[in-house]
Structure 1
């Protein structure tokens, strides 16, 4: 028997991550995907998109869908999983898949992969998953097989990718409280008695984490790893202790990356959000840092319009703010053109942040996920901007008679600043302006407190 002169190494294509043991819920989302990708009667190639903020579990959703619908590969004979975070990884993974088909494909490249899907697997029993298609400069349609069969799923932080769908579009949000608790319990390897103080603390923790799957799993896993067993007794690291640690060392906890070997959970919560920040426009980054110092719910757009109308100037000056000149310049650059309010610029900032699920806009307000707010506040930077001071100035400049209709929307934001050292760090101009707003909407005791602090 002749000895082969060369030994060919079998090429193995990238595989879809397995469903995490901590995965919970998403039944409605699964049914939506099944109705369009499995039960849909329309002919032609099906394109389905899943978008959502970092940490919402988009890749896991795809894995869950295929686990539940493609057992023994009866629905999709070929599952092609591609890292679409860059053009180079996308092409490399397509090439790897093509070469994994056997010795006759060892010279294939990414174009061959698309050709094979389009012309050789004409029965349509394939699904192509483009994961993390976040780069807005990457033209994804170029990488769709040119045929009328098969299915494509794209996952992305960018809502712009949603427009590529021709079946349906899934915006993956946070877990509901029941499923969030299930994820937390699975990751913590415990079942929480109900009612109990531990259950009360778990509910507080879930709310602070905004029911975000990645954050819940990281919190539960941390509590599990910090727990111990001695003399056949388990000593749980309680959620109460985690909450205390979260309040004191939030950034350190949310940047931890060493708790998992599973790829989907290897990044910390903050590191996942950093990926979205990197692709934002510079102006959007600045705007995000400013709005993070408002209360995360119901940030009124009318407030920015009213403040821009007066050039963000204090209604009354009791003490000059020469140190805030740079912040004032930043606000006018962001929201004005030639000294006049620019609605288009405001809407463009919101569009950019919304496209990566960093804010949720309605017709008249913005909402931030509490962890997005925390991450933006905790962010390290080399600039010297006082973003909190800039945000308080926006509200102060609204303290004018013509703005009475928006005063009640400013209340949660003012209360948020007063909760920190009872407002002692506020500039005197802000104390008086906030006092006038509070007085007008009937919060007389708070208003009096601020007026007294202003003249102290």
Structure 2
């Protein structure tokens, strides 16, 4: 990584701060000056990086202090960078943005950190919202002694990262708290003196908490009460709060909660239905994540509700037992009028406006996005204020909202569209209770459909581990096991089979999906979309298990039916053609695979966006077919395009992104670009070793191919080390005749030979040849290759011994 600068003269070149100083900022002048002095002081010398941790409860003003310091010290630094580390996703995006600003295209956090570590100019990095007590935020601190870092956190233990004295923020002093309240309440400065006593009374009640004071000021500014009335209203609400929520009595957050609760009176007393709608929206939000919730989710839920009420289930992915019903529609918020023929967002917008005016939510409108977010404290309060029964009702409402939003003919596209908005956080929050906790919220027949719709979202997003955990919870709650399935839970087994395939448990997936197909055969027609879906799923598992003959038989039937019943551009028809082409390619029918894939790619090119996952998937498989037909140049061109897009649209750990990088590396090997192949493969292996089980086929395959690349570059020792591991694992997980097991043994034999371990090489290769002579025809390339190598080794040994 080159140094970005050779001299330390530049100032104020980079300014990456999310917002300007809050106009309400007041007080803390001594603190701000102390921080400035500490950052300017050179007593630490060059032996230690200047790091300051600011701790305190949420809403106390940690971020605002950082904004003030950054603004005042802007000219002291070559660059000021701000990264929200509230969750891994925002942290990564923030660091990638830093790298981009510096003129580099980093692939991850580590590379971005190296850029800062290597620059000689002075920089300031603010790590905001380091609030996860289970996460080590050292991962986000640039190495070395360059620059300065400020970390804001609610977690006291984060102070261990500080090389400067930690600053623990408490409430403002009375004078500044009073001024903050009066400013937030929009009371003219000339009236402050006459209002001081009333304001001080409120300050005392609220414990000088910054966010609470701003909230109280907003309440007064919106004319919901006078400054003189607030203290009395608060006292009444505080008694109600303590009466209903005794667990909060000793919490340092109780004053904030009480301040939020003051706004509930406004909602309860609002005219028309807007107050009730706002409360419903608040309750729904409390079951989801505090991050931005896209408002079009409510429109999508309305569409899904219409789909249910119209009784059109032809495209549903679940049998009737666990399909969404009118009951689920009835759980939606009242501001979603499922009976209306057109979507009307008037009541939703009124509710949003009311909550926004009370500073309970923040509305975001930018880049064609429209959504709401909540401060984490306000979000916690919104949930905690609900009684147990109310929380259960809110959960069912939120669950039905998400489930309905995906209950449409194009639900898979809906899943994909929402991915960029990161609905995963909201779904994870919804599913945070255990299944055994969620099931008693209502009858199982009502709750299971919500969980299964959520499971389908996790499946489509490739959140494989989360889906496995959800399914395990369902098994435990219903006292069922996948190795003893029953027709009653066929929808569960169908989803479980798909998950097993993605998790790499291929044999188990085949058995479970065979059961699903068999059971559906007795109750569904041959052309039923559900039956065709399950046959497709089984065929994909067959392909992964190298049972290509069975896969092709199933898929040719599915394709034939869909070509006569679905439009040429229908995603199900194209998906089955895509899977058939993949099976053709795996069985050596490369010509047929290319012909079919070129058709699919051509259709998708005219119907979906360049970044659409299904179009990229078809281009990816077409590139694989090109590779197998020795069209390496065309394969590389396609794969580089796919990889480029996936690296900008998918997370670093996403299976599709890693798979395309893996295949591109294979193409590089085919074109003798060994160095490029190794770089890619080492990255893929590194990621997969941290995200996949040791026995996962994808992890083993990438390790195997990396070993081949090492052999090509004469790194024989590294190749043998990898291959011995792969062979060892595959010998315990795959049958003796499995092609993957034999392939790794064959490659290891070649590595042994290159390393002059001739005895081990011949012994292993003799085993491979013996098995392949039993399982493969004499004309099969793999059999011929292993027989040829063995003959060569034996002749070389004879020459040597003679």
TM-score scaled by length of structure 1:
0.50
TM-score scaled by length of structure 2:
0.29
| Structure whose residues are more often strand by fraction | 1
| Structure whose residues are more often helix by fraction | 2
* Greater radius of gyration (CA): 2
